[in-house]
């Protein structure tokens, strides 16, 4: 991922609403928009929450149940369905990602030979699960919503202390509120994380839960190599994440913004571009005669001036020229060739 193109994850999550056909539709649209990854959530609801776990505030906004278990069961896809989705993504050449929320799901995803394993924010302190995933020796993406700096470091250490783990770690700055108010994005924290954990050789990215593009654009300018954003077919669908997701039209604009920002960043070296070279001679100036100058006459502020184009002597030689005798006759506006 170390290139000028910031990678983008379309976080489908559970926005398929438990329907594999909707999941395929989302994959197709994401691929057509130019996404790098589509990401799902792989879990067994009964292994993820207790029977009496209440909904989070954001889950209550757009659902009709009152318990997490009932909600998650509605959006649970089978392992066979995820196997099919992975093969389908391979077929149309888009990277498949999924977050594992339990041991069995993690072991299953490992069999799919994913290029990256995604650690969701809610599992960052689940060190036994992280230890298992570290044993797979695959690139890992860690979301850091709700986490302290100490908790982030503990998670990173699980991977870096495993001598068998030789892959890259991408840490995503994240605020786990849906949608996130601008005042709570705290994008400078992304740079704090990058600096604090550079000894662990990490890359930095951003999981964007705002309802606009500005945060991700700024994160890209800050050096994010990976941007994650929730993706839905329709913001009006029932489900916990649709209201804080981008629909296809808005996601297309989002991708364009990120790609353009990556392009704008360009090189760290100060160079004269080819387009600048076309203008350079025509907008810079030369030393020219401001009136007739006779051979032997001394150059002074009374007989020379500076004008475009830059086909003659550069203005930087002005002080060296003043007071010297002309070696030839010059007409007005003629380039000084001394």
Mean pLDDT over residues 40-48, rounded?
A: 95
Identify the band that residue 70 occupies on the pLDDT scale cut at 50, 70 and 90.
Answer: confident
**Residue 219 · residue 191 · CB < 8 Å:** no
pLDDT in tens, 168-212: 999 999 999 989 999 999 999 999 999 999 999 999 999 999 988
Least confident of 44-53, 97-106, 292-301: 44-53
- pLDDT, position 172: 98
The domain locations on the chain are: 7-265, 274-321
Rounded to whole angstroms, the Cα distance separating 14 from 214 reads 25
Domain 7-265 has CATH 3.50.50.60: no
Strands (E), 80-186: 95-100, 116-119, 139-143, 169-174
- pLDDT, position 60: 75
Q: What is the pTM of this model?
A: 0.87
| Whether residue 4 has pLDDT greater than 80 | no
Mean pLDDT over residues 316-320, rounded?
A: 97
Stated as kind and residue range, the H or E segment containing 9 is strand 7-13
Rounded to whole angstroms, the Cα distance separating 230 from 319 reads 62
Distances (CA, A) of 150 to 74, 147, 156, 190, 191: 35, 8, 10, 15, 16
pLDDT in tens, 143-170: 999 999 999 999 999 999 999 999 999 9
Distances (CA, A) of 300 to 14, 307, 337: 78, 16, 15
Tell me which of 269 and 59 has the higher pLDDT: 269
Q: For the chain, what is the radius of gyration of the CA atoms? A: 30
Q: What percentage of the chain has pLDDT greater than the value 70?
A: 99
Rounded to whole angstroms, the Cα distance separating 233 from 12 reads 9
Q: What is the mean pLDDT of the chain?
A: 94
3-state SS assignment for residue 172: strand
Mean pLDDT over residues 255-277, rounded?
A: 92
Mean pLDDT over residues 108-126, rounded?
A: 97
Residue 81 is classified by DSSP as H
| Whether residue 250 has pLDDT greater than 50 | yes
Identify the band that residue 3 occupies on the pLDDT scale cut at 50, 70 and 90.
Answer: very low
Q: What number of residues does the chain have?
A: 338
């Amino acid at each position: 991922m170390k290139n000028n193109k910031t990678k983008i994850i379309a976080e489908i999550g559970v926005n398929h609403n438990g329907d594999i056909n909707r999941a395929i539709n989302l994959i197709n649209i994401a691929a057509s928009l130019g996404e790098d990854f589509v990401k799902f959530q792989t879990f067994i609801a009964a292994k993820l929450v207790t029977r009496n776990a209440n909904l989070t505030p954001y889950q209550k906004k757009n659902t009709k149940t009152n318990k997490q278990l009932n909600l998650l069961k509605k959006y649970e896809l089978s392992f066979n369905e995820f196997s099919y989705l992975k093969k389908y993504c391979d077929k149309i050449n888009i990277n498949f990602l999924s977050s594992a929320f339990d041991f069995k799901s993690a072991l299953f995803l490992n069999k799919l030979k994913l290029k990256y394993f995604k650690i969701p924010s809610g599992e960052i302190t689940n060190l036994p699960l992280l230890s298992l995933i570290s044993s797979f020796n695959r690139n890992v993406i860690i979301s850091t919503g709700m986490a302290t700096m100490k908790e982030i470091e503990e998670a990173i250490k699980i991977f870096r202390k495993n001598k068998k783990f030789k892959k890259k770690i991408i840490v995503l700055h994240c605020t786990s509120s849906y949608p996130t108010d601008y005042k709570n994005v705290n994008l400078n924290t992304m740079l704090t994380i990058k600096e604090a954990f550079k000894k662990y050789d990490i890359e930095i990215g951003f999981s964007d839960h705002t309802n606009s593009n500005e945060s991700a654009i700024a994160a890209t300018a800050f050096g994010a190599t990976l941007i994650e954003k929730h993706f839905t077919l329709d913001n009006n669908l029932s489900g916990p994440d649709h209201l804080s997701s981008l629909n296809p039209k808005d996601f297309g604009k989002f991708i364009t913004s990120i790609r353009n920002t990556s392009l704008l960043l360009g090189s760290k070296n100060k160079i004269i571009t080819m387009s600048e070279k076309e203008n350079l001679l025509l907008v810079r100036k030369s030393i020219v005669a401001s009136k007739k100058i006779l051979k032997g006459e001394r150059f002074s502020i009374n007989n020379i001036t500076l004008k475009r184009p830059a086909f003659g002597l550069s203005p930087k030689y002005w002080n060296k020229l003043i007071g010297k005798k002309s070696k030839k006759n010059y007409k007005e506006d003629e380039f000084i060739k001394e």
